Amino acid sequence: MSYAYDDQNIFAKILRGEIPNTTVIETEHSLAFHDITPQAPTHVLVIPKGAYVSFDHFASEAGEAEIIDYVRTIGQVAQMCGVDLGEGGGFRLISNAGRDGVQEVPHLHVHVLGGRGLGRMLQ
């Protein structure tokens, strides 16, 4: 399986510092920043620093250190934003991929949404 990564996508430009972002947390392998069009009081995007298009690309090619860092960063974002189950009312993770997933930006990202009742998505 080969994945084509477009290094002109918006999140690649954010990682290179060509476009500003409002950072929530930056780690060795990951960056989390506020979505420019928030759909909830907490709406943070978490991206790996590596050039991965989607979750399947990341899962098949990323190293263990990147994967551990990414998963931990997503959890830390929930905690830092006060939506984690220790302190807050909960959250939802979404990662759109490809055409059918209606992915707008072709660099892997997980949306962390919370701060309000999000309703049921799956029936």
> Site size for ligand 5GP, by CB under 6 A?
13
Output the CA–CA distances (angstroms, integers) from residue 121 to 28, 31, 93, in the order listed.
33, 27, 12
User: Taking CB under 6 A as the rule, does residue 30 contact ligand 5GP?
Assistant: no
Q: Which of residues 35-74 bind ligand 5GP (CB under 6 A)?
A: 35-37, 45
DSSP per residue, 31-67: EEEE-SS-SSSEEEEEEESS---SHHHHHHHS-HHHH
**Catalytic entry in 29, 57, 107, 109:** 109
**Residue 34 annotated to the active site:** no
Q: Which is nearer to ligand 5GP, 38 or 63 (CB)?
A: 38
